[in-house]
Structure 1
Amino acid sequence: MAKKQLTRAEVPEALTWNVTDIFTTEADFKKAIQQVEKQIVEIQANSKHMTESATQLLTLTELLYESEELLMKVYGYAARVNDGDTADPHGNDLMNQALLIVNKWEAAVSFYDPKITQLSAAQLDQFLDDKPELKRYEFNLRRIQEQAAHTLTPAEEKLLAQLQPAIDDASDISSKLDDADLDFGMIKDENGEEVQLTNATASEFATSADQDMRMRASKQVAKAYRSMRNTFGATLKSHVHAQNILATIRHFDSARQMNLADQKIPEAVYDTLINTTHEHLDLMHDYYAFRKAYLGLDHMYQFDRHVPLVADAKLSLAFEEGKKVTMAALAPLGKDYQNYLQEEFEQRWIDAAENKGKRSGGYEDDVYGVHPYILLNWNDIYDSTSTLAHESGHALQSVYTDKAQPFWYSQYPIFIAEIASTLNESLLNHYMLEKYADDPQIKAFILTQDVDNFIGTVYRQTLFAEFEHFIYTEDAKGTTLTPDLMADKFNGLFKEYNGDAVTDLPWKDDTWAQIPHFYYDYYVYQYATSKAIATALADDIISGKPGALENYKKFLSAGASNYPVEIVKQAGVDVTKRDYLDQAFKIFGEEVEELKRIL
């Protein structure tokens, strides 16, 4: 990739995604919007009679999914154009047009789920018998119907929908406070120059070789959050309390039960994750003790945990080389997988080059009936190749799902969404460790990446999940969630998870206030379960365990055709038991020992 940041017009076409695969011309995009407008009118006209007969239900259901599939193409086209250059007014206009029709469609179909829940089980059974074509949608219909006990009357649902913006205010206020109002001030860097301290520069300083630099940056960030702790505390308390009230209104025993119910995740999965992680804290304690000794630190604080053990691995991969490495690394997934990957690489599914105005980071977005799209901002470091492998995991899960499932079962649930992506990361790291087996520096660099990633994704997210459940439980008991209560609990967990090698900070800390995920409602535990599942599955595939690859392909093809627990079982993992976690922690421990041996 070029070192100079290009304008969008300067990016070679081969490094951009091909939006004409969705719509050949912009006129086709506008025609699609007009078509969705017509379908919305038709949906509304049929809504009152939807549950009067099997024929009416079939007609409305077919129209709903037909319009949604076209709507996703409209959104996918606009998002690709917009994200390529977010400063381009034309792309902004397309995105606004897409969002307007998306919002209009969502409002128009909001009656559907409540009406399904009003059908009795006997009525639905009769409809399925009367119109066998309805059986194509049976899983979705029954999944909606199973929420009947927690669905309110249409009038009450409408009232809650009107209240939703107010319910979301706490999250919005916290986000604006964090992103816009919080000022970390200026700081002197290692060269004595005054620079603005931001989240981005704070992350850079966290990897500085100078412990004093790391400490000053961390202390200054902590001071800023400390100054706003009462506001952050009030917004989080408000959000948690609102969710607990919603759980009561919807007849759930708890907010956790409410948030896990839609995908039928047993609450025991959550508890098993926390309990099993606690049993393996000794592995992380051992790693941090090694880190402290290797870095020669008298005291290792939490801000020292990200200092590179290998400062310069000289591992630079241009985009073409990154694709070759990814292709080779994912060879264990079979020739069919590689054929799809080759198509992804050659048919411009990827927007690779960084350019002015381009959306930052990386993501994958599937357009059903077309193909997935991947956004990257390539910069030749190893992390870019890792991101390519990660996003390709998402993309090829979409490919397998789209080939096996109809549109209405193509959007695989969040609980399993990060398994394919993180499994690809594991395969990439395994390949690189073998490729550079005779280069201790690169091998140590990759192992450190893998170990730290596991800690960040499994241990840290489990800590967050444990804290999150604590604050919800305390609020439900009537306890006031004060900043002191939350700080004491969070810091206590931090101490327990990190172990004795990590010294308590020499200042009062409110790290709990820095985590936006606590507004995502029992979401973070899924990062940990997905990483552990992926680690175990990758190990099975690499070791050639009989049936492992075949079962994994079934998992990739399942989409949303069943509940997540059952889909993961197809891959050979039972998340209601702890075996997959024990296997993942065992692999983590082996990598720590290998890293210690090399260094």
Structure 2
Amino acid sequence: MAKAQELPLRKDVPVKLTWDLTTIYRTDADFEKDFSAVKDQLPKIAKLAGSLSDGAEALLSATDAYLQLSRRLEKVYVYAQLKNDQDTSETNYQAMFFRVESLAAQFGAAVSWFDPELLKLSESQMTRYYQAEPKLKAYKRLFDQTFAKRNHILSNDVEKVLAGASDIFSAGEKTFGILDNTDLPFPTVVDDNGNQVQLSQGVYGVLLESTNQAVRKQAFEQLYKVYGQFQHTLATTLTTNVKNHNFKAKLRNYHSALEAALAENEVPTNVYQNLIQVVNRHLDLLHRYVALRKRVLGLDQLHMYDLYTSLVGKKSPKYSFETAKQIALAALQVMGPDYVSHVEEEFDNRWIDVVENRYKRSGGYSSGTYDTNPFILLNWKDNLDNLYTLIHETGHSMHSYYAAHHQPYQYGDYSIFVAEIASTTNENILTDYLLNKYHDNPEMKKIILNYYLDGFKGTVFRQTQFAEFEQYIHEQDAKGQPLTAASMDKYYQELNAKYYGTAVISDDKIGLEWSRIPHFYYNFYVYQYATGFAAATTLADGIVSKPNDHVDKYLAFLKAGSSDTPTNVMKKAGVDMTQPAYLEHAFEIFEQRLNEFDQLITSN
């Protein structure tokens, strides 16, 4: 038997395939200087408490000090995070990251007085302050974001108690995390090659893509057998989390936990409700897709564990990293020369940590701060999925680049609500590029369309299903209804049957799916995947079909950072996310591509 190829150690990875963190700090000693400087400033900024009512100059001085220290802290934080992630076995960088996390907590405590004290300033006082010190106008939106919470921020004493009890409030999430990642006893199962493998979340995802239904079925049944054994405990952890959200929302005078969660990102609740309503109106398209999957796979019975295997039955085309960069640059030409020049800068100046090495953090992300490059972590594999990951993370990095280079520090970041839009716009542009590139190659078109349809199914339909379930359990608890494992199993299975239709058997075990989804602990987070993908679909279609009309608007969105509310920022790009039109347009494109895929499959 051939020996399995081992991952290289970090020191053995070619330098050109690693990110260049010396652009943040030349040496660790330089990092230590900034770390110490931040730590030394904490007592000084804490002593500014009580000064905001002393006049306009005092407010300006305190705000400048706060932001300057925050900016410096972010730089040391990013450096430590990236150093740790590139090789998590290096104890010195583990320690560095732990120290920075502790420093960030100390910073939070040192400035905790700022918002409650700012809220004591009346509108008339602020008007006088702006007149007396015009430089304060540069921070008006920043202040207004706090003033918008005036009716929801409590007295200093209560806020202090809530902050001190944060570990208690997060007990449900933490307990779930320990159970899910460490304590649940997953069995061994058989993979495609007949090998016994230890089941895990990652292995489960791979086995569901198997072309062998017996492998998929065994993985599904064995995974949910474990969750079924612990469902009552997991119902308790989730209920604890829901009660936490509802308690805080009521305490802070919000109508619901949904309103409280969305208010954090300045998003109106109708964005959430529109998503659920429009997706429900178009469930017939998901039902069509599921029925097509049953027909293509040639199955008498289609089960939920059959929804992830490829419909084209072929391995992914191979793309080296160098080839992937060339394809990404070609696809992104539609974005114009300025955008492309910055992508080239990313590719040519070691912003990307490319290959997997031993002990490197898994997955992929874009990370940076106002004073650093927007770095990208990859664990490169030569396949289509990694090509999409590259262009996805490049979308994040270009968003960060444009925001940081066109906004002052206080507005140089962007809301999580719009974060996935820039990345998935790039994905959709790539899809259009590849479909045109392979217009006369039916086999490649089927591969690309299969990838797109599965992505839409998993991001728009599935995440909206999650969002609908999340809203339901919060509403039930708010009404005083107990959230038992049995009641959640029943509702989730009914919801699943509604979404996927009669072509698939909603196995009893799928009712347990709620028990293994960590996102249900994230406080109304998942809907943003769906709204973001739909908005990106609409944006990409406009850019590709009429770049002269849409690229400048899109770049204005990237440059806006957090200088306006997220929905207003999106309006700059030409998408009003408070209205359902962008969702309807996304479903039109999905239907067109579903029809095209159906025709290609049927013509074989």
**Counterpart residue number, 2:335:** 333
Q: CA deviation at 1:346?
A: 0.7
Cα distance in 2 for residues equivalent to 1:272 and 1:311: 36
Give the whole-Å Cα distance in 2 for the aligned partners of 1:246 and 1:431: 47
**Structure 1 unmatched runs, 5+:** none
Aligned residue in 1 for 2:184: 182
Partner residue in 2 for 1:413 = 415
Segment drifting more, 526-535 vs 360-369: 360-369
Residue 377 of structure 2 corresponds to 375
Residue 362 of structure 1 is aligned with which of 353, 361, 364?
A: 364
In 1, distance between residues paired with 2:518 and 2:591? 30
Q: CA deviation at 1:143?
A: 1.1
CA distance in 2, matches of 1:344, 1:3: 30
Q: Do the aligned partners of residues 508 and 590 (structure 1) sit closer, same or farther apart at CA in structure 2, a change above 3 Å counting?
A: closer
RMSD in angstroms over aligned alpha carbons? 1.4
* Structure 1 residues 506 and 13: CA distance shift in structure 2, 3 A: same
Task: Output the amino acid matched with 1:220.
Answer: Q
- Equivalent residue number for residue 122 of structure 1: 124
Q: Deviation of residue 241 (structure 1)?
A: 1.2
Correspondence for 1:39? 41
Question: Aligned equivalents of 2:577 and 2:95: distance in 1?
Answer: 44
Question: 1:588 aligned to 2:593?
Answer: no
Offset from partner CA, 1:99-128 (integer Å, 9 cap, x none): 222221111111111111121111112111
Please state how far the C-alpha of 1:40 moved relative to its aligned partner: 1.5
CA contact (8 A) 1:419 1:534 kept: yes
How far apart are the structure 2 equivalents of 1:361 and 1:421? 15
Q: Does 1:245 align with 2:272?
A: no
Q: 1:356 offset after TM fit, Å?
A: 0.6
Superposed, 1:76-91 pairs within 5 Å as 76-91=78-93
Determine the C-alpha separation between the residues in 2 that align with 1:188 and 1:389. Answer: 34
After TM superposition, list the pairs within 5 Å mapping 1:90-489 onto structure 2.
90-313=92-315, 315-489=317-491
CA distance in 2, matches of 1:325, 1:414: 28
Q: Secondary structure at the match of 1:479?
A: coil
Name 2:495's counterpart in structure 1: 493
Letter matched to residue 156 of structure 2: P
- Alpha-carbon shift at residue 75 of structure 1 (Å): 0.9
Partner of 1:118: helix, strand, or coil? coil
State how 1:442-591 maps to structure 2 within 5 Å. Answer: 442-505=444-507, 507=509, 509-544=511-546, 547-591=549-593
User: In structure 2, what residue type is equivalent to 1:148?
Assistant: R
CA shift for structure 1 position 189: 3.3
Deviation at 1:464, TM superposition (A): 0.6
- Which letter maps to 1:289? A
In 1, Cα distance between the equivalents of 2:266 and 2:25?
A: 37
1:191 Cα deviation after fit: 4.5
Per-residue deviation, residues 517-574 of structure 1 (Å, max 9, x unmatched): 1111111111110000000000001111653111111100010111111111111011
Contact conserved, 2:50 with 2:117, CA < 8 A, in 1? no
State the distance in 1 between where 2:506 and 2:201 align.
Answer: 22
1:19 and 1:130 mapped to 2: Cα distance?
43
Query: Which one-letter code corresponds to 1:208 in the other structure?
Result: S
**In 2, are the aligned partners of 1:208 and 1:307 still within 8 Å (CA)?**
yes
| Deviation readout 1:368-414 (Å, 9 max, x if unpaired) | 12321110011111111111100000000111111110111112001
Q: Output the CA distance in 1 between the equivalents of 2:310 and 2:487.
A: 34
Give the AA of the match of 1:224: V
Q: CA deviation at 1:164?
A: 1.4
**SS of equivalent residue, structure 2 residue 302:** coil
Deviation at 1:262, TM superposition (A): 2.7
Matched residue pairs, number? 598
Compared with structure 1, are the counterparts of its residues 507 and 251 closer, same or farther at alpha carbon in structure 2 (3 Å cutoff)?
closer
Q: Deviations over 1:75-119 (max 9, x none)?
A: 111112111111011221221232222221111111111111121
Deviation of residue 23 (structure 1)? 1.1
Distance across 2 between alignment mates of 1:276 and 1:270: 10
How far the C-alpha of 1:192 sits from its partner, in A, is: 4.1
**Shift in Å, 1:491:** 0.9
Tell me the secondary structure at the aligned position of residue 359 of structure 1: coil
Is the Cα–Cα contact under 8 Å of residues 418 and 566 in structure 2 kept in the other structure? yes
Partner Cα separation in structure 2 for residue 9 and residue 508 of structure 1: 45
1:78 counterpart letter in structure 2: A
Q: Is the 8 A contact 2:404 2:413 kept in 1?
A: no
CA contact (8 A) 2:304 2:510 kept: no
Query: CA, structure 1 residues 381+22, in 2 after alignment: closer, same or farther (shift >3 Å)?
Result: same
Is contact 1:118-1:148 (8 Å) kept? no
The offset of 1:508, in angstroms, is 7.0
TM-fit CA distance, 1:506: 5.7
* Separation in structure 2 between the aligned mates of residue 41 and residue 507 of structure 1, nearest angstrom: 55
State which drifts further: 181-190 or 361-370: 181-190
What code does the residue aligned with 2:51 have? H
CA contact (8 A) 1:39 1:63 kept: no
CA contact (8 A) 1:113 1:144 kept: yes
CA distance in 2, matches of 1:143, 1:565: 14
Residues of 2 paired with 1:30 and 1:506: CA distance? 55
CA distance in 2, matches of 1:571, 1:189: 46
Q: Tell me the CA shift for residue 272 of structure 1.
A: 0.7
Q: 1:190 to 1:390 in 2, by over 3 A?
A: closer
Q: Say whether the 8 Å CA contact 1:475–1:481 is kept in structure 2.
A: yes
> In the alignment, is the contact (CA less than 8 A) between 1:313 and 1:445 conserved in 2?
no
Identity among equivalent positions (%) equals 39
Rounded to whole Å, the distance in 1 between the matches of 2:284 and 2:68 is 53
Amino acid at match of 1:285: H
- TM-score, structure 2 as length reference: 0.97
Change (3 A) 1:101 1:553: same
Give the C-alpha shift of residue 313 in structure 1.
4.4
What TM-score do the two structures reach when normalised by structure 1? Answer: 0.98
Letter in 1 for 2:379: N
- Give how far 1:3 is off: 6.4
Deviations 1:311-332 (A, max 9, x none): 2245111111111111111111
Letter in 2 for 1:212: A
Whether 1:49 and 2:26 are equivalent positions in the alignment is: no
| Greater mean deviation of Cα atoms: 415-424 or 484-493 | 484-493
